[in-house]
Structure 1
Amino acid sequence: MTVTETALPGVLLFTPRVFSDARGAFCETYNERVMQEAGLPTRWVQDNFSVSKQGVVRGLHYQVVQPQGKLVRVAFGRVIDVAVDLRRSSPHFGKHVAVELSDENAAMLWIPAGFGHGFAVLSERAGFAYKVTDYYAPQGERTILWNDPDLAIDWQIDTAQAVVSDKDQQGQRFASAEVFA
């Protein structure tokens, strides 16, 4: 498994070796030693899975109470996955990184606590799986508007046709959002 730092320090891309043959493919989706050497936690409290159709945008989500680190991957389909630095003290505050995750590339993205997260589905359907470092805390959940012009995220979809939940449509503008110190 190769580990690559993205343009945002601390946000890491994990690319496993994929072994393919006439039967299909195999890859390792978690290796505690590799993750630990890369600085990730080895205690995960929850695994989550969602299925979404093409054009769905989920995010930008984060928790100010019980902040979560997330290790995300796509079980089937293809998404553009986005992490936004929400740490006011960071030199990268307000910057984002976007990577394609798919069942074909088997890549995983580590998004530390202190970052907002979202994704847009590029394929007909996508199954999105992720591990988190802390439990869901609804009282601390926050959402930044997915199409905030200050962030200028290229979701690689027709944003006029985006399918977005009511909650995500009512997200805060980045400029007024509660962020991390």
Structure 2
Amino acid sequence: MNAIPQAIPEVMLLEPQVHGDERGFFFESFNQHRFEEMVGAPIAFVQDSHSRSARNVLRGLHYQIRNPQGKLVRVITGSVFDVAVDLRRSSSTFGRWVGNVLSAGNKRQMWIPPGFAHGFLALSDMAEFVYKSTDYYFPEHERCIAWNDPQLGIPWPLDGLPLLSARDQHGNPFASAEIYD
């Protein structure tokens, strides 16, 4: 597994070594020891989640103000544009974002550490998204920042208008969002 440097150093784009031939392919999608070497800290995952989204479904930008979650995310069907926004006030990259295309084809994963908001846009007709989390989901602590906040200026590669949940339609502006110290 190779780590591809990002504009926000704590966010990592991970690219596996894929072994393939006419029969198909094989790759190691997770190795605890190697992952901890790359991120430079012990990480314990406690929950795996799986979602399926149609084209132009935009989920996010979500985070938990208490029990913040680190997420190791990947796509197993289709493709998404995946985004992490730094919400750590004390960080030199506070308010900046990183985005990457993750797909079943490129098999890349993104590590989003605690302290970040996360969202993604389904680019394919259908996208299946799986991720490991470092803390459990607590809906009472979940917060949402508006996906189209002009202060963040994320250029989502939309094909028309996004399909949003009721919660995501009412995301808070970044300027008034609860953040981490």
TM-score, reference length from structure 2: 0.96
Partner residue in 2 for 1:26 = 26
* 8 A Cα contact 1:85 1:92, kept in partner: yes
Partner residue in 2 for 1:15 = 15
Q: Could you say if the C-alpha distance between residues 165 and 40 of structure 1 is closer, same or farther in structure 2, counting changes exceeding 3 Å?
A: farther
The AA in structure 2 aligned to 1:21 is: D
* 8 A Cα contact 1:27 1:106, kept in partner: no
The AA in structure 1 aligned to 2:114 is: A
Aligned counterparts of 1:155 and 1:119: Cα–Cα separation in 2: 9
1:33-44 → structure 2 map (5 Å cutoff): 33-38=33-38, 39=40, 41-44=42-45
The AA in structure 2 aligned to 1:33 is: H
TM-score, reference length from structure 1: 0.96
In the alignment, is residue 72 of structure 1 matched against residue 87 of structure 2? no
The AA in structure 2 aligned to 1:81 is: D
Aligned residues: 180
Describe the SS at the equivalent of 2:30.
coil
1:5-29 CA-to-partner distances (Å, cap 9, x unmatched) read 2100200111001122222222111
* 8 A Cα contact 1:64 1:180, kept in partner: yes
Gaps of 5+ in 2: none
Partner residue in 1 for 2:62 = 61
1:147-162 → structure 2 map (5 Å cutoff): 147-158=148-159, 160-162=160-162
Gaps of 5+ in 1: none
Partner residue in 1 for 2:95 = 94
Aligned counterparts of 2:87 and 2:2: Cα–Cα separation in 1: 26
Identity over aligned pairs, percent: 52
Q: CA RMSD in A?
A: 1.0
Describe the SS at the equivalent of 2:90.
coil
The AA in structure 2 aligned to 1:125 is: M
| CA positional deviation for 1:40 | 5.1
In the alignment, is residue 122 of structure 1 matched against residue 128 of structure 2? no
1:127-138 → structure 2 map (5 Å cutoff): 127-138=128-139
Post-superposition, which runs of at least 4 consecutive aligned residues in structure 1 deviate over 3 A? none
